[in-house]
Each structure stands twice: as C-alpha cells, then as structure tokens.
C-alpha cells in the first residue's frame, strides 16, 4: 500500500508560511495533481513528501507508516525533477540501470529489470544506443525508466514537462498517463498548467498561497468549484462572474438578475441583501433572443467549430462559447440564456461558493 497522507502539514521559512496546515489523503495507485500558480507552495509540499524538506509541523504517512522524520533515502519514493537529466556518456541500458547498480543489485537482476522497464516504456529496441543521439521523447522515456526501474512505492514529479514546447508536452502527458495505467504506482504530479492537470489527474488539489483551496476529481473541481479562485483558475476562457445584489432564502432555486429569473442549484443558507456573484462557464451560455438578460456584442473570436463571443452586460463582460455558424456582429444586441444545472453562486466579499 502506498497511500500518502498529509496531516496538518505546515512549512514556514522564518516568518513566511509557504504551506499552511494541509490535510489530504492520496489513495494508493492514484494519479494526484497539485495545481496552482507559481509560489503557492506546490514544490514545498512535494519536497516534504520526498523528505528533502522537514515540516515545521504536522505528519506525513506513507502506507500508514509515519515517515515525517525519515531521510529521503529511507522513504522508497522516486522524485523525478526533470526528465532530461541523463548521463550523456552512458548508453540507454546503463542510464536506466544506474540506480540499481548503485544499490549493488546483482548484474543479472539489473539486466532483467532494465529490460522489463524498457519494454514497459516501449524503448527496448534502443537499449544499446548512446543517449546522446536520441530524440527528445525517447530521452524523456529513458529518464522515466531510470525512476521506475527501482519500483518505488510512489513517484513525485515536479513540472517534469516544464521545458517542452506545447505539442510535445501534450504527447508526453498522454504517455505519462498511459504509463501510470500500466504501473499503477501512486503518483503526485505538480504543475501550474490547468489543462495538463485536467487531462492527467484522477484528483486535483488546487493551491492558493500555501492553502489547499479544494481537492476532488477534475469534474468536481470544474462543475462545483468551492471558491471564485478555483473557478477562475480552471477553464479557458475562465468562468464568467456576474455580480448582483439580492436576498436569498434557504431552499431558493432561482436568482433574479434584471428581472430575469435564473434557475440555480438549491441554496442551503439564508443570505439577506448581499452582493452575490453568479458563475457561469462560457460553454454553458446560449444566445437566446427571448432572454430578458441582454447585452451588446463587443467581439468574437473564431475557433473553428466554435467561437468565443464577448458581450457587454450591465453586470460585466461575459464570454460565451457558441457554435461558429451563428453570426454575432459587433454592436448587435443579444439575449443570454444559461444552462441552469451548471451554474455556481458565490458570496462576493469572501469568494466562497454558496451551496
């Protein structure tokens, strides 16, 4: 079992708190992504799991065992910093086998495990080639091979695709995901790229200033963000926010904006005369002449099968993703209708979601 559990994990550098009382459980075999902007504490969290940084407070459990004070080398976790760091003077076979040779594993076993690993990564035909002549993707696979040949309990990956161009990144993250499906090893993957996170993760933790704002499956995070911060971070273009003032009673199933009644998921609290924010994703908006919620088209970006239409409303600018064949001329007045099951509501002052 390689479940990873963080309990009230905290890291301060002097006065500055980089990770603030994080508690979460990463299930055995899960591909778990830590997502957030630069400086939010992702790397620090990963380094504490690896044993490269000592927590200021809290505990880390690996497969139920408290490893908080164990050295990195005693944790049986592979930290993949950067997939390109290979030994250029060695061939593929020796690069992959190097960690085992260092541990004094017998040669025959090193050979067998290197070959098994190479088959898993589909690079067994390259084993005797020098790494210096390999294409980028194959070099990445060799570096991955060196991490997985040890059969660690878990993998930690810190933006391993960070230096690659967009097209190649996409190829590699599909590959990493498939590799995970084949090995089933618990993986914690750090990125600031929400598309990468959504495509790869079983579950995502979204971090903000050292705090885990929300964690859940990509779909939960996308459909039911717990705060405006999370809603804004996920999705491209991001969720639209329409601010309005209203009172809501517990059990309400609609809000009224400019006389338009908009059905929302049932609200479980009373809110008297508060500034509220309706969150709606661009793909959940239709142009509908009958809707009383109206605005003026400012711009439209053609994207092939869809277009992003920007509409100025009394409650702010709204971006709608609609079919490309609907003409939307700048200056035209349009009505906006929302897919009611997919809306979010937030308290403007705190940014938290109203459930």
* Site residues (vs ligand ATP, CB under 6 A): 13, 16, 18, 36, 38-44, 192
Cα dist from 178 to 90, 173, 201, 259, whole Å? 27, 9, 12, 50
Tell me the closest approach of the beta carbon of residue 11 to ligand ATP, in angstroms: 8
**Residue closer to ligand ATP (CB basis): 127 or 213:** 213
Tell me the closest approach of the beta carbon of residue 79 to ligand ATP, in angstroms: 14
* Token pair in block for residue 144: 């991955």
Tell me the closest approach of the beta carbon of residue 152 to ligand ATP, in angstroms: 21
Q: Report the alpha-carbon distance of residue 121 to residue 8 in Å, rounded.
A: 37
**Residue closer to ligand ATP (CB basis): 30 or 158:** 158
Cα dist from 252 to 46, 244, 271, whole Å? 42, 16, 10
**Residue closer to ligand ATP (CB basis): 212 or 277:** 212
Tell me the closest approach of the beta carbon of residue 36 to ligand ATP, in angstroms: 6
**Residue closer to ligand ATP (CB basis): 36 or 152:** 36
**Residue closer to ligand ATP (CB basis): 44 or 117:** 44
Q: Phi, psi (5° rounding) for residue 66?
A: -75, 110
SS3 (DSSP) at 276:
strand
**Residue closer to ligand ATP (CB basis): 47 or 321:** 47
Query: Is residue 19 a contact partner of residue 41, using CB atoms and an 8 Å limit?
Result: yes
The residue nearest ligand ATP at its CB is 43
Tell me the closest approach of the beta carbon of residue 26 to ligand ATP, in angstroms: 17
Tell me the closest approach of the beta carbon of residue 258 to ligand ATP, in angstroms: 40
Tell me the closest approach of the beta carbon of residue 32 to ligand ATP, in angstroms: 15
**Residue closer to ligand ATP (CB basis): 37 or 251:** 37
Query: Is residue 279 a contact partner of residue 228, using CB atoms and an 8 Å limit?
Result: yes
Query: Is residue 244 a contact partner of residue 255, using CB atoms and an 8 Å limit?
Result: yes
Q: Which long-range contacts (CB under 8 A, 24 or more apart) does 338-341 make?
A: 338/262, 338/280, 338/284, 338/285, 338/286, 339/284, 339/285, 339/286, 340/262, 340/263, 340/264, 341/265
Tell me the closest approach of the beta carbon of residue 171 to ligand ATP, in angstroms: 22
**Residue closer to ligand ATP (CB basis): 16 or 302:** 16
Q: Phi, psi (5° rounding) for residue 140?
A: -60, -40
Q: Report the alpha-carbon distance of residue 230 to residue 205 in Å, rounded.
A: 10
Cα dist from 17 to 34, 211, 222, 238, 309, whole Å? 18, 10, 28, 29, 41
Query: Is residue 84 a contact partner of residue 139, using CB atoms and an 8 Å limit?
Result: yes
């Amino acid at each position: 079992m390689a479940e990873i559990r963080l309990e009230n994990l905290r890291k301060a550098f002097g006065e500055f708190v980089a990770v603030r009382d994080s508690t979460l459980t990463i299930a055995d075999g899960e591909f778990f992504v830590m997502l957030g902007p630069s400086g939010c504490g992702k790397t620090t969290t990963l380094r504490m799991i690896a044993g490269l940084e000592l927590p200021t407070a809290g505990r880390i459990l690996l497969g139920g065992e408290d490893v908080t004070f164990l050295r990195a080398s005693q944790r049986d976790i592979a930290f993949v910093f950067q997939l390109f760091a290979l030994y250029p003077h060695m061939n593929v076979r020796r690069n992959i086998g190097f960690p085992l040779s260092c541990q004094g594993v017998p040669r025959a076993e090193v050979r067998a495990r290197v070959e098994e690993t190479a088959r898993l990564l589909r690079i067994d035909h390259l084993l005797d080639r020098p790494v210096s002549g390999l294409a980028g993707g194959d070099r990445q696979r060799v570096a991955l091979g060196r991490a997985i040949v040890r059969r660690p309990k878990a993998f930690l990956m810190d933006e391993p695709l960070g230096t690659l161009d967009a097209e190649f990144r996409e190829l590699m993250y599909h590959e990493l995901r498939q590799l995970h499906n084949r090995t089933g090893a618990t993986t914690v993957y750090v990125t600031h790229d929400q598309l990468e996170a959504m495509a790869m993760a079983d579950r995502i933790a979204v971090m903000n200033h050292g705090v885990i704002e929300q964690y859940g499956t990509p779909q939960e995070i996308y459909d039911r963000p717990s705060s405006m911060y999370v809603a804004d971070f996920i999705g491209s273009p991001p969720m639209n926010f329409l601010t309005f003032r209203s009172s809501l009673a517990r059990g309400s199933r609609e809000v009224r904006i400019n006389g338009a009644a908009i059905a929302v998921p049932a609200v479980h609290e009373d809110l008297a005369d508060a500034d509220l924010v309706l969150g709606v994703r661009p793909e959940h908006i239709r142009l509908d002449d009958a809707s009383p919620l109206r605005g003026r088209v400012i711009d439209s970006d053609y994207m092939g099968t869809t277009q992003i239409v920007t509409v100025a409303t009394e409650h702010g600018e709204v971006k709608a993703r609609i079919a490309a064949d609907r003409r939307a001329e700048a200056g035209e007045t349009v009505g906006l209708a929302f897919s009611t099951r997919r809306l979010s509501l937030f308290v403007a002052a705190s940014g938290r979601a109203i459930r």
